[in-house]
Structure 1
């Protein structure tokens, strides 16, 4: 009888270990950015219950995201993290800590606001939307794949810095 419980514990332990190994490194104290320091077209993400990531594009102080219902919309930063991690947004930066951003990415995201596409966790999710704004035609499903696309797009190391919301 205890064997199924042991296997469940091993499986849960593997999931937790995999999550912690795939997480971006935490930023050092004092390196957080203010929203006014984030340029349009920067890629941002927040955590979802400590297990997954949700990504979007920063434009004019808002985040353009593909919501779980499939609608692409602009939301306030606090709304972006509401009912997810509830506390932190991070922005993709180069090795010197400068946000990686491009006006073309912002323009692509803005152009797609109010589009609707059937959301699917493993096909048309938020990371796929962001990668499309980067002009990446392939299906990007995982956060690690999105980070690789960012690395290739900007030809830069990608580090994630925290944004401190007022």
Structure 2
């Protein structure tokens, strides 16, 4: 049964179904096959200084494969996960995906003052309109997830690229 505590509901933290991705692959590791990652002892998890890399849980269709969990923070693109990967993944500045703002859940779009997401975006991709409501400059967004954890209503999600398509 899903975790439906009041806090979990407000944060949008209802448990995922077995076939759904819990989050995007860590940057650079999208080039590595999920099966290879599942067999690895988890060097990228240990290397992540932000602590945002997790594994899909047992019983999940992707059990053992790493993903980024933005509940506590975001990805800084430091490259430590790629450096720790024994598969020799390519370097460069990847784009994880694009943030998506769900206006119906956003406090600022519902006449409550809130700018938590804007202050956390390292790329300046979240700006305010004349009514002090946030909107996204997609060309600046890297999908780092820094805007997700400060949002009290889980109004932001990352649309991430999996196998060449954003989901």
Scaled to the shorter chain, the TM-score interval is under 0.3
Structure with more relative contact order (C-alpha pairs < 8 Å, separation 6 or more) = 1
Which structure has more helix as a fraction of its residues? 1
Task: Give the alignment's TM-score, normalised by structure 2.
Answer: 0.27
